[in-house]
Amino acid sequence: MPPPLALLLLLGLSARRGWGCLQCDLSVLEALSQLRVALIPSRFQVQQLRARAQALLLGMEGPFFRDYALNAFVGRVGIEQLDLVASFIKNQTNSLKVNSLRDRPLLDELVALRERVIKELKKALRSYELKACDPKICRESWIYCLFLPSLPSCPLALCLPQIKPCCHTCCIWWFPHPKGTEGYLIFEGL
């Protein structure tokens, strides 16, 4: 196997997460799953509260954070910041497993946990978005999509495959300006 290919394969196998999302971090999913297993059968006596707690935790294990990241922000975050959010989640779930709350107070604490995680994730997402969409920091050429600025990803990349999306209002420009970019303001990186 050629050395560059071997290096690429090694990097691919050693990557912890591909898109920089909480759902891609197996330790976060495991912590949330363990929390659900520890709390749901034993610490909720009222069926309605048990069902709400189950739905809340399954949602956190599922696409909740990914959907939040994609719909409210760029959908990407720096790995260093994501590691901090992942550590925060694991610490919070561990403290919930050892406390003595039951039923309604425990459900309230689970809702508060989700709010705290969203707050931490929001800080990381906002930080990345500000850097990725600022041509002075990004230092790449980018395009501002005049027609569809509110979509979670730039649809120009679908029509012009030489453009790779960077965020919901801009795209990183990888190749020379293609034809058909009327309606887009093109900015060169500094």
Helix/strand number for the chain, H first, E second: 8, 4
Indicate the SS3 state at residue 19.
coil
In the predicted model, what is the mean pLDDT of residues 56-73?
Answer: 82
* Residue 27: both structure tokens together: 């330790």
pLDDT for 51 equals: 95
Could you tell me the CA-to-CA distances from 118 to 50, 68, 138, 146 in Å, in that order? 22, 8, 25, 29
Place of tokens 């050693």: 14
At 76 the pLDDT is 64
pLDDT digits (tens, 9 = 90+) for 148-179: 343 344 444 434 444 444 443 333 333 334 44
3-class secondary-structure state, position 164: strand
**Distance in angstroms (rounded) separating the CA atoms of residues 135 and 132:** 8
Please, are residues 72 and 115 in contact by the beta-carbon 8 Å criterion?
Answer: no
Q: What is the structure's pLDDT at 37? A: 94
Q: Region 126-137: what's the mean pLDDT?
A: 68
On whether the CB atoms of residues 153 and 159 are closer than 8 A, the answer is no
CA dihedral 145, 148, 153, 157 (to 10 degrees): -60
Give the separation between CA 154 and CA 58, rounded to whole angstroms: 30
The rounded distance, in Å, linking the Cα atoms of 163 and 90 is 37
Burial class (CB within 10 angstroms; exposed 0-12, middle 13-18, buried 19+) of 98:
exposed
